[in-house]
Amino acid sequence: MRHTLYEFLVLHKRLSLPGIGTISIQQESSQLDITSRQFTPPYINYSLDPGNDSPAKKLFEWISASLGITEWEAIKAVNDFSFSFNSEIAEKKEVIWDKIGTFKKDGAGHLKLDTETSLQWELPVIAEKVIRQKAEHTILVGEKERSAAEMEEYFADTPVKRSYTWLIAAILIVAAIMFIGWYFSENGFKPASAGNNSVLKPK
């Protein structure tokens, strides 16, 4: 019976049993583990709500169809299982339900569930940045699509235009310095040499 009830729990995500409560499956999403640089796979946990112990009618219908018994016999089988389960907890203090966890009562007498290792169906996925060398992809140039390789060849074949403006400016500066040097060497380094040396004669 325990295996049959576990199958129902996996299929319907909830299993309510009289005198025990409702066992639910909680699915946790994948998480990023920065330390190990990987994504952990999704996993499931089990939880127990002792306050909700009313079985659904579909549980009896499912057991009836699975075991080939009448619905009344299914109801009796579930009640017998719950009674036996609680009696075992009272005697042994705890009961291990394979693949779900350990059922036991706390100091206040409330039933609680300690789940086993969370179930995982997949392996972790490595979370590393992928750098592809010479990866081919198309880009839009004007109205045409070109590959990255074609654009590399285009820029490699295109001659680089050099600017000679700075060279012309440098030549003009050097020429100006040479002219100033020649001028002062001819006229001397006097304040008057920089002015107009012509003499005005009054009429």
Give the H/E segment covering residue 97.
strand 94-97
**pLDDT tens across 149-177, in order?**
776 776 665 555 666 787 888 888 888 88
pLDDT tens across 71-91, in order?
999 999 999 999 999 999 988
> Which residue type sits at 103?
F
pTM, rounded to two decimals: 0.54
**Angle at alpha carbon of residue 100, lines to 33 and 41, rounded to 5°:** 20
Label residue 57 by pLDDT band (50, 70, 90): very high
Instruction: Locate the domains of the chain by residue range.
Output: 2-126
In the block, residue with structure tokens 């997949």? 122
